[in-house]
Chains A and B, each alone.
Chain A
Amino acid sequence: MKKEDSKPTLEARRAFLAKLGGAATCAGAVVGAATLGVIPAVSAKTETPSGGASFPTKDYDWTKHQWGFGVDATKCIGCLRCVEACKTENEVPRNAHQFRTWVERYVYLEGEKAVRIDSQQDPVNIQASGSEKEFRFANRYKDAKVEKAFFVPKLCNHCAHPACVQVCPVGATYKTEDGVVLIDHDYCIGCRYCVQACPYGARYFDEEKGVSDKCTWCYHRITKGLEPACVEVCPVGARVFGDQKDKQSPISLFIRNNRVQVLRPESGNAPNVFYVGIDKEVN
């Protein structure tokens, strides 16, 4: 019995290989044909903005603007007013785990190689603020010898080629004509693929609403001629916002007058939040 099992005849082998070849050819043909048609459509570089001239209100034409955001990290003092304003303005859940914007603190201590990084959500900072609903940086390094320290405000980068938009299975998250990445909460299915895909950790999942959420640059404000809430409350002008189509706007001047950089340029996402004064450890 063993011999019969282990020695298939030559004919059987030939027949097997012929069938294998047939199956492989079929599969190859299907994959080949599909690939040719699909490649241009699914590439991360091909998202087309939603169409239409006058949107979202009849007084606002989104084809006439191209919004951009600047962060001057050299100015940020870590007061966290921006975080507070954002939570209030956008009804972001009042806890230490979901933010549309946050501030990171980078501290290099004398004699230490690795940078120490924390944000307002760190348990030590929450303890200092006294509540998960309030935000403050604890003075945790007051007795240490600090070589270098700075704050970096973070938010959604409203990328030109957003990974979140690319992966959304239903198109609930989309890029507007004026360069903002938005989420349709009435269409989002709550799969959280976008949360995983964002390399910047800008998205969170709102358990109560069952949908993903993130910074919109306060779209409800900017389309009425106002600034995003975080920009408006920043006491030192570390956050800059404006229309890149207007050459004299704050953001156009910010980009023109500074050597700006973006976060994780290697991702190919092409962010639209431009940074000044960040260090090599910031990503």
Chain B
Amino acid sequence: MEPIIHFAPYTGWVYPNETVFEWSVLIAVYPYLTGLVAGAFTVSSLYQVFGFERLKPVAHLALLTSLSFMIFVPTPLLLHLGHPERAFNSTITPHLTSAMAMFGFFASFYVALLILEGWFAYRPFIVDQAQTKTGLLGKFYGLLTLGSHDVSEPVMRYDRKWIFALAVIGIPAAHGLHGYVGFMYGSLKSREWWSSDLMPVIFLFSAIISGVALLVVLYVASCKLRKIPVDAACVKGLAYTIWAFIMIAIVLEALAFANLVYKGREGIEMIMEYVTGPLLIPYFLLQFAIGMIVPLLWLSYMIWRGTTGRALVIGVTLCACLVLFSVFMMRWNVVIGGQELSKTGKGLLAYHMPFFGKEGALMAIVLTLAPLGLLYVLTRLFPPWADAATHAHS
């Protein structure tokens, strides 16, 4: 029989109980998904609240993406719990001093908000479908109208007010949800690597760039699948958004690291040994150089040269892929990296990710891609494309 305990090899001095990695790759997937939610919602809000017209082709796609990923956010946590059947204890009897206890409330509130905003945004489409479709699908849309079939201009004006208000509330909600995820790590005093006041904002800005990057990829892929031309202005708008936020993300993370090194508190020698050794490739090369600096320079070049058309679309899409990868590496370097640095400040551990199993690599990949499956179903039921009827009124 396979031993239950998978202990980690280590060097130096680590506490005996530390030799088992308690937070696996799934705990890196969790903030990754939350970040994509917050980032995608930002794009939808840039259009709905701030009137960025050029983002119109992705506004509804952003909303559906946000919802699809949000529904899957709790799954890595549930799979990780020792007693998933008790998960609701944290919502029924929350321990108010715990940063984790509020998750159920924040997440439920946010899912409700996304569904409500989605309903308002899609109401004309739902009403239209309820009146034209027959059979089971007709009944489905009929049910979704909630008995409200009025799509006259005054009513639509009223709906738009709701959409605006929900989007306005959604911005602090989405960003709060993700900043809060960062707080869960940053507020722990047991690990120097996590214990940073900048952690919530670092999480937030990396979340925004990851969500925008995801939308670039999804939008371009959807255009290719639907065999329609890509709206270069929209891609450029998304590129500007990534460009602006990636700079902040880089500066924040660099500042946090500089702070850590400059303060040089107890355990800094081990941190330096770690970042210049095992973390050199995942942190400096993959997360920073390839995942952030390359996209920043590439995007800057394209903006400077006024690149447009196919070259722009390909360039921005590739940059977006790099950003998506970089942000995952950031989650990995925080969650796994934090545990590879011993609490003693005198030793290093090495995490070996199993491929199979409840908390293995395969599961992490499945959970990261599963929301795309849901998104596909949702786009069939509620086409988010700007050329469909759905945008006629919004």
**Distance between Cα atoms of A187 and B23 in the complex (Å):** 20
A15 at the interface (CB under 8 A from B): yes
**Chain B, interface SS category:** loop
Known: A23-B49, A189-B83, A198-B190. A169 touches B98 (CB 8 A): yes
A88 at the interface (CB under 8 A from B): no
A277 at the interface (CB under 8 A from B): no
Minimum CB–CB distance for A228 against chain B, Å: 18
Interface size on A, residues (CB 8 A): 69
B188 at the interface (CB under 8 A from A): yes
**Distance between Cα atoms of A31 and B344 in the complex (Å):** 36
Q: Which residue of A lies closest to B85 (CB)?
A: A189
**Distance between Cα atoms of A191 and B122 in the complex (Å):** 38
Q: Mark B87-109, 1 if CB is under 8 A from A, else 0.
A: 10110011111111101000000
Chain B residues with CB below 8 A from A199, complex form: 189-190, 343
Known: A26-B168, A117-B346, A169-B101. A99 touches B86 (CB 8 A): no
**Distance between Cα atoms of A189 and B54 in the complex (Å):** 46
Q: Which residue of A lies closest to B233 (CB)?
A: A5
**Distance between Cα atoms of A12 and B50 in the complex (Å):** 9
A95 at the interface (CB under 8 A from B): yes
B357 at the interface (CB under 8 A from A): no
Interface size on B, residues (CB 8 A): 58
Contact A193 B51 (CB under 8 A): no
Contact A102 B16 (CB under 8 A): yes
Q: Can you pick out 17 interface pairs between chain A and chain B where the beta carbons lie within 8 Å of each other? A: A5-B237, A20-B50, A22-B168, A23-B168, A47-B97, A97-B5, A169-B90, A171-B93, A171-B98, A189-B82, A189-B90, A201-B16, A205-B22, A207-B4, A210-B82, A212-B82, A268-B189
Q: Which residues of B contact A (CB under 8 A)?
A: 4-5, 7, 13-20, 22-23, 49-51, 54, 77, 80-84, 86-87, 89-90, 93-101, 103, 168-169, 171-172, 176, 184, 188-191, 233, 236-237, 266, 306, 308, 339, 343-346
Q: Which residues of A contact B (CB under 8 A)?
A: 1-2, 5, 12, 15-16, 19-20, 22-23, 26-27, 30-31, 41-44, 46-47, 93, 95-99, 102, 117-121, 154, 163, 165-172, 187-193, 195-205, 207-212, 267-268, 283
